[in-house]
Structure formats: structure tokens, C-alpha cells
Amino acid sequence: LARAHGDRFQLRHVLAEPTTGWVGSTGMLTRDVVTRELAALGCGEDCEYFLCGPEPMMLEAKAALTERGVSEARIREE
């Protein structure tokens, strides 16, 4: 997706158990962590969000998105 959509696609990795030398975001993907990552994206109303992972993580991510006013139509779940 990143290759196909260039600057229109952003992939963010957040590692709960990062290896030595990891410089990206860390922590369990809780609502607070998702909210922090969303703020870093600076995404407007036309963004779509794709969620994939364990159900508890997806529930937290979806809650963070809906708290920010993202409509259900812009949230995709696998």
C-alpha cells in the first residue's frame, strides 16, 4: 500500500516489546497510545483507517478513532 499510494499512505509501527536500538513508538496499543499516534498523523476528515490485530487492541483503536469523531464509514477492520 505504501508503494502504491506514496504520500497518501502512512504506516505507523508501535512495538510493545521493542528490540535494542528501536527508535519508533513503543507501548501496548491502548486508547491513549492510539490517540498519541493519531495526533502525530495530522490526518484530516478524508482519511481512512485500517485496523488489524488482536481484538482488544482493535477495540481500543476503534474507541480512540470514534472519540476523535472519525465516522464508522472511514474505519476498516480485518
Average pLDDT, the chain: 87
Residue 12 banded pLDDT, cuts 50, 70, 90: confident
Residue 75 has pLDDT above 90, yes or no: yes
Positive or negative torsion for Cα 38, 43, 46, 50 = negative
Whole-number pLDDT of residue 5: 85
What is the C-alpha separation between 30 and 73, in angstroms, rounded?
22
Amino acid at 30: T
pLDDT in tens, 39-58: 888 777 778 899 888 899 89
Q: What is the pTM of this model?
A: 0.76
Phi, psi of 4 (to 5 degrees): -75, -30
Whole-number pLDDT of residue 11: 81
